[in-house]
Amino acid sequence: MFLLKELYNWNHEIALVEYLQQHTSLCRKLGLDSVPDQSTLWRSWHRRFTADLRDTVEKGTRTILIQVDQQVFQSRENR
């Protein structure tokens, strides 16, 4: 779920909470019984996740965005 936060470039966890509240089926797919509150998400990201794990999420996000950008470019080129 933190990948979403990074993909959307949300600065605060509250945006992620609101998104998850609007997409309850995603929560079920992620194995969540309920939407975590903002403080739980903040603690998870800032205190529970290691710096290496946060870095991995951020790098993964950049990789996804690069791939999407390349696909959009190729799609426009093929028109």
> Which ranges in the chain belong to alpha helices (H)?
2-7, 13-22, 24-29, 38-43, 51-77
Q: How sure is the predictor about 5, in pLDDT bands with cuts at 50, 70 and 90?
A: very high
In whole angstroms, give the CA distance from residue 24 to residue 13. Answer: 17
15 contacts 5 by C-beta, under 8 angstroms? yes
Give the model's pLDDT for residue 9.
93
DSSP letter, residue 33: S
Q: Give the rounded percent of residues in the chain with a pLDDT score beyond 90.
A: 85
Range of the domain at 12: 2-77
Give how far Cα 55 sits from Cα of 27, 35, 41, 73, Å. Answer: 23, 24, 16, 27
pTM over 0.85: no
Domain count across the chain: 1
